[in-house]
Structures are given as structure tokens and as C-alpha cells.
Structure 1
Amino acid sequence: MAARVQAIDEWLPQTQCTQCSYPRCQEYAVAIAAGEADINQCPPGGDITIRGLASLLGKIGKPLNPEFGVHKTKQVAVIDEAVCIGCVMCIKACPTDAIIGTAKAMHTVIEQDCTGCELCVEPCPVDCIDMVEQQQSPDLTWRWPDYSPAATARARRQTVAKLAREQQREHDKSSLHKLRELRQQKGSDQIKQDIAAALERVAARTDTSPADSDTKK
């Protein structure tokens, strides 16, 4: 199954755009391999991807399903740096780490890393991101003129790297939360022990009080 998924994934341009209804290209590949998704759900790949997948899987080709979008020439995101407020929402949304910047500082798109997924556009609160047609010569030697072998490989690699970082971050948060809970529990247990010890001391003093001594006489 792994080899089959990889072969299918090679026919996806790695835009990570989610138009296919899956969060990443690889998950769409997994769904196709499992028979849970059709081969015509990738607008960026268009007819080239559909024909490639049909040949690979022994299926009959079909038109792109319009429910998932339409094929169009690749575009890249451009940030109006004069308007950008440095909210980092676009950085969080970008699946390939194609946007650089820090909080409250200007953000910039690394054009060669941008897949044109458009996922950064909607989260921007000041509407300072535009999608513009890519200004570069198409690679006519590759299956997709708009997506070179280097670009698709880089997008796949950077997507995996970002996902790994996010998973590690969530793991660290979970571990920190558990550590805090443990410390709180230990603190609570210590308080209970201190109270119990105090009660024992009070009880001991009561047992040896002067009134008890006079009674015994």
C-alpha cells in the first residue's frame, strides 16, 4: 500500500491546497489508494493528473469534477508589505512555510516556495494578500508546466517538515500540561499531608492536656 500511495502522490503537484477535500496531497493519495476518493478531485493537477492516475491505476479517464474547483494557471501570493500588520495568520496557514516574518513585523512570500494554494488569503484580517500569475517560463519538459520536479519535491519536503514541527509542538504542549497537573497533584497531596500532620499534633496535645491529667488523679 505504501508504494501505491507514493506512486499516486507523485501524480499530485503538491500544492497542499485542500481543494480535493483532504488536508494534504498525501492524504488524498491515501484515499485514492483505498478507493475512498476519485481521481478527478485535483484542480491544480487538472487533466494531466487525471490522465496520469488513470493510467497508473488502470482506470478510465474523466473530466475534472467541478465541485472541487477549476484548473487555472499557477498563481503566487504577494503581500502588500505597506498594509501588513504582522499578525502571522498567513504564516500559520501556509502549508509549505513559504511566508517569512515575525509577530508585528512585515511578512514576505518566498516566491519559489509558494504553491499558489491560496490558503493564506482568507485568514488575513487586513486583506493585504493578492494572488498574481507566476512570472516565470513554464517547464515544458515536465508533466506540469507550472510545477517543476524541484518545486514539487520541495513542497512535499517542506510540508512534511512543518507537519512534524506542529506535531512535536502539540506533543510538547501535552507533556507540559501533564507535568503541571502532576505538580499540582503533588502540591495538593503535600497540603493534605500537612493538614493531617497538624490534626495529629492537635489530637496529641488534647490527649495530654492538664484537664486530662487532673481527671486521672
Structure 2
Amino acid sequence: MTVTDSRTLADRIEDLLPQTQCTKCGYPACRPYAEAVASGAANYNQCPPGGAEGIARLAALLGKPVIPLNVTNGVERPRPLAVIDEQVCIGCTLCMQACPVDAIVGAPKQMHTVIAELCTGCDLCVPPCPVDCIAMPAVTGEATGWDAWSQSQADAARERHERREARLAREREAAEALAAARRTAAATPAANASAAPAAEAATGGSSQPDAEANDAAAKKRAIIQAALERARQKKEELAAKGQAPLNTERVSADVQAQIDAAEARRRRLGLAKDDADTPPSKH
């Protein structure tokens, strides 16, 4: 019997998805796709990681026939694993920002590493990398779809994605609180004394003097710019050897927006002033 409760149906559809959070379905994560399928806004054959078995599972739930995977969303394939070339990585953190399940560890100006058992093979870390240092080799042999992914892996990925979304929401709230405190302080000089504790509470620490902050920012710009220059030289060496960029050909609108925002931050910091010399990457 077909389920008619849209909320319950969305929950049950989400339970059948592989939780790779790859956006290949055309939605920003598995949950929004589940809701779209439940409402009829999306078809149930748009999840390449789930493959043919995933479609069969959804068809059984929905009481509909099994249909082929929509090739515009991708193809069923062996599960890949993100691998970072640490000799080329510049520590820009863009891949960490893109990873939907926090499977990449590192810090600004430090080399990053993928935690293999946490990686869902979503490809989302590849396009933002400015130095093309991330490869996605297949690690499941000829096994594809649900044969290359287990329910326990899906459940764990779902939990990590939900924790990440909750953390990002907290960070946004803190940033908004800090911005509001700064606006209040700027508009009302007499409020400076009360605004400072509010800003401190929002950021979890005390603010630094402007001169010290500016000096730190200048040092950060110099260090990252030097790293980018070294990476460009390495990239030219790889190109001379005939090694093409590893970026994927298609990027969702949400991921592209994230990349654009990161690039805007780089421009504000003065880190993109030499980018005119670098041909734009294809997304």
C-alpha cells in the first residue's frame, strides 16, 4: 500500500538513501531529495550512489515500477575515495569546507588528510581545490551502488552530516551575534562597553587590538600567498608532464555558490590578486 503521509514518507525515503550527501540528485543533501521525492517534485531515479538497487528499494516503497537511473544525474559506479597529494596541498581548507561529512582533517596552512573510513566518495572536495591535489580512485573493485556501500556506513555518514549541519548553524548564529554587537558599537559609541562583552561571548574569547589583528592578517596573507605561488609552480610542472586537472566537470549550484563565496573571501584578503594570470577552472 502506498504511503500517503508526506512527512512519514519523506522519513522512510531518507532511510533508503545511501547518505553520501553528494548532491548528484540535484538537491543539497539526501534529506531535501527525500522530501522532494515524497512531494512529487523529484523522481525516485536520481541517486547515482544508490544505483539500480536504490531505485528498486524506492520503487517498492512508493508502489511504482523499477525504472533506469537518470543519466543526467550521473552513472552507477564503484565507490571512490578522496586522496590528497600532501606534497601539493597548500592548506587552504576549501576541501574541508566542502566535505559534507567532516571526513577531512587539517588546519589553515597545514596539509590536509582524508579519513578513509569516513569518506563517502561524494566528489565535493575536488572542484574547490585551487591546486588540483585531490584524486578520487575507485576502492571497491567492480562493486557499485549498494554493493559498494553498507547500511551501517550510510547511517554513520548521516549522523556525521547532521552533526556538521548543527555545528554550522551554531557558527552562523555566533557570527550574526558578533556582527550585531559590532553594528551597535559603531552606531552608539556609548554602547562600546556593553557591546564588547556581547562580542566576546559570541566568539568565545576576547577581541584583539586592531593593530595586532591587522598585523596577523598581513602575515596570514603573506604566508598563504607564498604557498599559492609554490602550488602554481608545482601545477605548471605537472602540466608540463601532461597531467591534466582532476576537477570534476559538473558542480551543483550550491557547491558553486560555496566556491564563489570562498573566492570572494580570498579577494577581500588580497589573496587572489594574481589569479588573473591563471586560466579559470572548468566546473
TM-score greater than 0.5 by the shorter chain = yes
Q: Tell whether 2:188 aligns with 1:186.
A: yes
Greater helix percent: which structure? 2
Q: Distance in 2 between matches of 1:87 and 1:189?
A: 37
Q: How does 1:36-75 map to 2 (within 5 A)?
A: 36-75=41-80
Residue pair 2:53, 2:146 contacting (<8 A) in 1 also: yes
State the AA in 1 paired with 2:43. D
Gaps of 5+ in 2: 1-5, 193-283
Structure 1 residues 189 and 86: CA distance shift in structure 2, 3 A: closer
Q: How does 1:124-135 map to 2 (within 5 A)?
A: 124-134=129-139
Task: Name which of structure 1's ranges 85-94 and 175-184 shifts more when overlaid on structure 2.
Answer: 175-184
Residues paired across the two proteins, number? 187
Structure 1 residues 35 and 171: CA distance shift in structure 2, 3 A: same
Name which one, 1 or 2, has greater alpha-carbon Rg.
Answer: 1
Structure 1 residues 189 and 135: CA distance shift in structure 2, 3 A: closer
Q: Distance in 2 between matches of 1:173 and 1:101?
A: 22
Query: Which residue among 91, 101, 109 is the counterpart of 2:114?
Result: 109
For 2:98, the equivalent position in structure 1 comes to: 93
State the AA in 1 paired with 2:94. M
TM-score by length of 1: 0.81
2:40 alignment partner, SS class: coil
Shift of 1:170: 0.9
Shift of 1:177: 1.1
For 2:19, the equivalent position in structure 1 comes to: 14
Q: Distance in 2 between matches of 1:96 and 1:106?
A: 19
Residue pair 2:79, 2:140 contacting (<8 A) in 1 also: no
For 1:166, the equivalent position in structure 2 comes to: 168
Gaps of 5+ in 1: 191-217
State the AA in 1 paired with 2:73. F
Shift of 1:187: 1.6
2:135 alignment partner, SS class: strand
State the AA in 2 paired with 1:169. E
TM-score by length of 2: 0.63
For 1:175, the equivalent position in structure 2 comes to: 177
Provide, for residues 86-110 of structure 1, a one-character-per-residue CA deviation record: whole Å limited to 9, x for no partner. 1111000100000000111111000
Q: Distance in 2 between matches of 1:189 and 1:81?
A: 48
Q: How does 1:19-34 map to 2 (within 5 A)?
A: 19-34=24-39
Shift of 1:138: 6.5
Structure 1 residues 95 and 37: CA distance shift in structure 2, 3 A: same
State the AA in 2 paired with 1:146. A
Provide, for residues 20-41 of structure 1, a one-character-per-residue CA deviation record: whole Å limited to 9, x for no partner. 0000001100111111100000
For 1:145, the equivalent position in structure 2 comes to: 147
- Runs (4+) off by over 4 Å: 135-139
